[in-house]
Amino acid sequence: MKKLWQKDNKSTLDPVIEAFETKGDLLMDQKLIKYDVQGSLAHAKMLCKIGILSKSELAKLEKGLLEILSLNSQGKFLLKIGDEDMHTKIENFLTEKYGKAGQKIHTGRSRNDQVLTAIRLYSKEMMEKIKQELTGLIKSFENFSQKFGSVKMPGYTHMQKAMPSSIGLWAGSFIESLQDDLSLLEAAANLNDQSPLGSAAGYGTPLKLDREYTVKLLGFAKAQNNFLYCQNSKGKIEALILAALTQILLTVNKFGSDIMLFTTSEFNFFQVSDALTTGSSIMPQKKNPDVAELLRAKVHLVLGNYTALVSLSSNLPSGYNRDLQDMKKPLLESLEITLDSIKVTGILLNNLTPKREVMESALTEEIFAAQKAYKLVQKNMPFRKAYGEVK
């Protein structure tokens, strides 16, 4: 397919190079098409508003763009090597079908601001979903706590029995952790909620674009004001999103770690429903709660993606650098992983039954030592002396 920057469609690009540059990226673009079309729809409306597109040209482009959305949702707008990227394929589709109107769609923008707009829209939508799931998960922990909160269990420090605790305290720790995570996610979502559209290649255009109009059409909170910062924020804001996801997955990891420990036959504090355990290919007796292991695993993947993004973004001068193309996959993957992990944490929680007797009989005598010392304190003995006494 003819590239946007080519005079003719004889690709002169070395095929190994072309595959290296686009093979993996097209898989990401396939997921972003929907958002790229949204951006194009808004951009076209704005071009019409400022007089660059006629109403009939706009109508054609809207028709074409909706056709693309529809084809795409049927799996019929497939990107393949040679297409360069989704932007090229979309513009070529529009130009082939609607001629001059298609040739105008790129007025006043660059693929640089275009792809960034699509990425920010995608992240915005995914974070919205994650927020909803997080809220639901908090609710689930609250229900769990209402149901089982009064069950006593040992509290641990250094993985050793320390003091009396309860399922209420334990479940509550996840609720508060998730609330903190939610608040950080909102901070990340706010920083993401800025439209780069109209910054073109990072240096604007001589045209008087109405950026506020596209901001409104796309539902962004505001525009990124500085054109160059749009490009410089690429990878940086995405790294921050991954830091927010990492916080969520740290909470998930803590839950998974607890479940793995508390469902050993030695601790034996919880029952996991059969619908969530799997067997062994060699040991007939096994029922493994391996969903907890896979939940535990996820924070590490997103940490790796975060590391990649920060390292990728640094030591580079201002302006667009194509290195950042490789930010798409870690970002998309991390958002998907997090969304799935929250859902699955909820399912695991709903399939968890505390073994009340086991838990309560685990409150052996030594666990009350500090409380004994406090009794002496209440009789006015200095704490350190009471401590020595009990010891």
CA-based torsion, 288, 289, 294, 299: positive or negative: negative
Residue 226 CB, nearest distance to a second copy (Å)? 4
Alpha-carbon gap, residue 333 to 338, rounded angstroms: 9
Q: Using CB under 8 A, which residues numbered 285 to 304 contact a second copy?
A: 285-291, 293-294, 296-301, 303-304
Alpha-carbon gap, residue 220 to 195, rounded angstroms: 6
Member of 55, 74, 76, 274 binding a second copy (CB under 8 A): 274
Q: Using CB under 8 A, which residues numbered 171 to 190 contact a second copy?
A: 172-177, 180, 183-184, 187-188, 190
Instruction: Report residue 274 as tokens.
Output: 């059969």
Backbone angles phi, psi at 243, to 5 degrees: -65, -40
Member of 9, 70, 73, 280 binding a second copy (CB under 8 A): 280
Should residue 206 be labelled a site residue for a second copy when binding is judged by CB under 8 A?
A: yes
Q: Using CB under 8 A, which residues numbered 322 to 351 contact a second copy?
A: 322-326, 330, 340-341, 343-344, 347-348, 351
Q: How many CB atoms lie within 10 A of CB 329?
A: 16
Member of 1, 59, 260, 349 binding a second copy (CB under 8 A): 260
Stretch that binds a second copy, among 14-22, 34-42, 75-83, 120-128 (CB under 8 A): 14-22
Residue 135 CB, nearest distance to a second copy (Å)? 18
CA terminus-to-terminus distance, the chain: 81
Question: Please, are residues 190 and 221 in contact by the beta-carbon 8 Å criterion?
Answer: yes
The alpha-helical segments, DSSP class H, found in the chain are 15-49, 55-73, 86-98, 100-104, 111-148, 167-192, 211-218, 227-232, 236-262, 290-313, 328-350, 356-361, 369-378, 383-390
Alpha-carbon gap, residue 2 to 139, rounded angstroms: 52
Should residue 370 be labelled a site residue for a second copy when binding is judged by CB under 8 A?
A: yes
Question: Please, are residues 253 and 299 in contact by the beta-carbon 8 Å criterion?
Answer: yes
Residue 185 CB, nearest distance to a second copy (Å)? 10
Alpha-carbon gap, residue 53 to 18, rounded angstroms: 34
Residue 68 CB, nearest distance to a second copy (Å)? 17
Residue placing its CB nearer to a second copy in the complex, 70 or 374 = 374
Residue placing its CB nearer to a second copy in the complex, 107 or 135 = 107
Q: What is the dihedral of CA 375, 379, 381, 387, to 10 degrees?
A: -10
Q: Using CB under 8 A, which residues numbered 22 to 51 contact a second copy?
A: none
Q: Which residue has 């929680």 as its token pair?
A: 349
Q: Using CB under 8 A, which residues numbered 83 to 122 contact a second copy?
A: 87-88, 91, 95, 100, 102-112
- Indicate the residue type of 217: L
Alpha-carbon gap, residue 297 to 299, rounded angstroms: 6
Q: Which residue has 């009350």 as its token pair?
A: 368
Should residue 376 be labelled a site residue for a second copy when binding is judged by CB under 8 A?
A: no
Alpha-carbon gap, residue 175 to 127, rounded angstroms: 19
Residue placing its CB nearer to a second copy in the complex, 70 or 221 = 221
Q: Using CB under 8 A, which residues numbered 124 to 143 contact a second copy?
A: none
Residue 77 CB, nearest distance to a second copy (Å)? 19
Active site residues: 158, 280
Q: Using CB under 8 A, which residues numbered 57 to 86 contact a second copy?
A: none
Residue placing its CB nearer to a second copy in the complex, 70 or 300 = 300
CA-based torsion, 315, 319, 321, 327: positive or negative: positive
Residue 271's SS3 state is: strand
Residue placing its CB nearer to a second copy in the complex, 68 or 171 = 171
Q: How many residues bind a second copy (CB under 8 A)?
A: 169
Should residue 158 be labelled a site residue for a second copy when binding is judged by CB under 8 A?
A: yes
Residue placing its CB nearer to a second copy in the complex, 59 or 369 = 369
Should residue 271 be labelled a site residue for a second copy when binding is judged by CB under 8 A?
A: no
Question: Please, are residues 172 and 151 in contact by the beta-carbon 8 Å criterion?
Answer: no
Residue 111 CB, nearest distance to a second copy (Å)? 5
Alpha-carbon gap, residue 266 to 307, rounded angstroms: 37
Q: Using CB under 8 A, which residues numbered 213 to 232 contact a second copy?
A: 224-229, 231-232
Member of 69, 71, 156, 356 binding a second copy (CB under 8 A): 156
Residue placing its CB nearer to a second copy in the complex, 70 or 236 = 236
Residue placing its CB nearer to a second copy in the complex, 38 or 166 = 166
